[in-house]
Amino acid sequence: MMDHQNRGHALLGPSKAYQWMACTPSARLEEEFPDTSSEAAAEGTLAHELAELKVRNYFYSVEFGKRKLTAAIKKKKKEHADLWQEEMMGYTDDYLDFIKSTALVSPTEPYVAIEKQVDLTAYIPDGFGTADCILICGDTIHVIDFKYGKNPNGRVSAEHNPQMQLYALGAYEAYRMLYTIKRVRMSIVQPRLPEGITTWETTLEELLAFGQVVKEKAALAIEGKGEFSPAEKTCRYCKARGKCRARAEENVKLAFSDGFRKKPPLITNEEMGNYLRQGTDIAKWISDLQAIALKECLAGNEVPGWKAVEGRGSRDWTDLDQVFAHLTEAGIPDAILWERKPITPAALEKALGKKEYVAQTEGYVLKKPGKPALVPASDKRPAITNKISAEEAFKEENDHE
């Protein structure tokens, strides 16, 4: 079984390939900053561990049968009680179902590798990565990646995805002597997002051409050379993003240059779109800058013009049972002390798990439309307007006749 908690990360790892290929000096720059973790990252690691158990049980049931699977899941649930959510069972089932359906439609039984560490040294110095699942059937390699994030802004497409292509290159190098590969298919499964599965296919020739580009970019990145290329997507997960001079200068130029401010009294919709696009990283940069400055102030370092203070606090009971016993004795009625409110559909789904929630609530849930939100045109959701269509207007006229 893969040790997800402690699995290594290469300097030029596949998961950050988009960053270091677009901005080659950033990889070495990041070495000055410590690794950080978050609850979302720990939750994702646990989901990956659970997904691996299920996939292993399905394909290798002789070595890892139902009893071992049940025991392993029970152990995970106990060890990670603070992170465990029943909905994780449903989402990892979705991932397994995709792999199962892919394998079942294959013309012949595929070879399956789970959590396979692939060697990328043919393209990246000391390079390696871990592919969640690799299926090989006939002349086709299919690499499948599981992502547990639920933020719509974190939606990832498989099309021309550098991380996926690096996993595919590693898979090709690992199995090229055993299989005659001509086609490469890549899929990303994000079960917590609507329409969260994307698949892209390419030829071996195109993949190997990408590998040559990787070699060139990796040679620069490993030496810390090349041009800085700050951009919203490039800087998103860079550990140096808060203090990077290239990013700071680019955002200052965008926000304060005469070319940005010198405009007619009214702007056009085209200019509005450009300003929003250009300003996206400015807002994130300011937020990153504030986080870094607060950290410096808390460490006792001076940031001229700024200081850290205690924010608005909150109140809590020293002993809930004791104070409520006292209040009840004082004649305060339970109607004041306790709030009774129904559980929300979202909270119930989290408590029961996706499948049980659907089974118990089908026909009882009203889907309310969300508030209009402005997103980039690349977002997969359909566009909406508040403009009445001719069909709707005609219907309204008939209703009033």
pLDDT at 165 over 60: yes
Question: What's the pLDDT score for residue 252?
Answer: 82
N-to-C CA span, the chain: 71
Q: Which domains does the chain have, with CATH numbers?
A: 14-223 (3.90.320), 241-298 (no CATH), 320-361 (no CATH)
17: nearest Cα among 201, 169, 172, 178 = 169
Top pLDDT among 278 and 148 is at 148
Q: What whole-number distance in Å separates Cα of residue 26 and Cα of residue 28?
A: 6
Write the DSSP string, 365-392: ---PPPPP----TT-SSPP--SPPPHHH
Q: What whole-number distance in Å separates Cα of residue 205 and Cα of residue 57?
A: 35
The answer to whether the beta carbons of residues 276 and 286 sit under 8 Å apart is no
Q: What whole-number distance in Å separates Cα of residue 401 and Cα of residue 203?
A: 62
Phi and psi (nearest 5°) for 130?
-125, 115
The residue whose two tokens read 């990252």 is: 41
Whether the CA torsion 268, 274, 280, 282 is positive or negative: it is negative
For 241, half-sphere exposure in the C-beta direction (CA atoms, 13 angstrom radius) is 22
Q: What residue type is 238 in one-letter code?
A: C
pLDDT at 377 over 70: yes
Task: Return the biggest CA–CA distance within the chain.
Answer: 82
Q: What whole-number distance in Å separates Cα of residue 82 and Cα of residue 103?
A: 34
Instruction: Write out pLDDT tens, residues 206-246.
Output: 999 999 999 999 999 999 999 999 988 899 889 999 889 99
Whether the CA torsion 104, 109, 110, 111 is positive or negative: it is positive
Q: Which residues pair with 116 in a beta bridge?
A: 131
The answer to whether the beta carbons of residues 147 and 198 sit under 8 Å apart is no
Phi and psi (nearest 5°) for 164?
-65, -40
Q: How many CB atoms lie within 10 A of CB 156?
A: 17
Predicted model pTM: 0.71
Classify strands 183-189 and 197-203 as parallel, antiparallel or unpaired: antiparallel
pLDDT at 287 over 60: yes
pLDDT at 305 over 60: yes
Query: In the structure encoding, which two tokens stand for residue 154, read together?
Result: 């974190």
Q: What is the mean pLDDT of residues 26-33?
A: 91
Length of the chain: 401
Question: What's the pLDDT score for residue 390?
Answer: 56
Q: What is the mean pLDDT of residues 26-35?
A: 89
Question: What's the pLDDT score for residue 168?
Answer: 97
Q: What whole-number distance in Å separates Cα of residue 11 and Cα of residue 221?
A: 9
Among the ranges given (48-52, 211-215, 249-253), the one the predictor scored with the smallest mean pLDDT: 249-253
Q: What is the mean pLDDT of residues 183-199?
A: 93
Round the average pLDDT of the chain to a whole number and report it.
Answer: 87
Top pLDDT among 349 and 267 is at 349
201-219 burial, b at 16+ Cβ within 10 Å, e below that, comes to ebebeebeebbeebeebbe
C-alpha distances (whole Å) from 130 to each of 4, 39, 139, 281, 286 are 10, 22, 22, 30, 34
Residue 196 zone, left/alpha/beta (φ > 0; ψ -120 to 50; rest): alpha
Most confidently predicted of 1-15, 251-265, 272-286: 272-286
Q: What whole-number distance in Å separates Cα of residue 163 and Cα of residue 156?
A: 11
The residue whose two tokens read 């990303």 is: 188
Q: Which residues pair with 186 in a beta bridge?
A: 143, 200
C-alpha distances (whole Å) from 319 to each of 112, 283, 326, 335 are 55, 42, 11, 20
Question: What's the pLDDT score for residue 6?
Answer: 47
Instruction: Write out pLDDT tens, residues 262-272.
Output: 556 666 888 78
C-alpha distances (whole Å) from 225 to each of 20, 21, 28, 218, 249 are 11, 11, 9, 10, 19
Say which residues have a Cβ less than 8 Å from residue 231's Cβ, sequence separation at least 6.
Answer: 22, 281
Most confidently predicted of 95-104, 283-292, 374-383: 95-104
Q: What residue type is 234 in one-letter code?
A: T
As a whole-number percent, the residues of the chain with pLDDT over 90 amount to: 52
pLDDT at 341 over 90: no
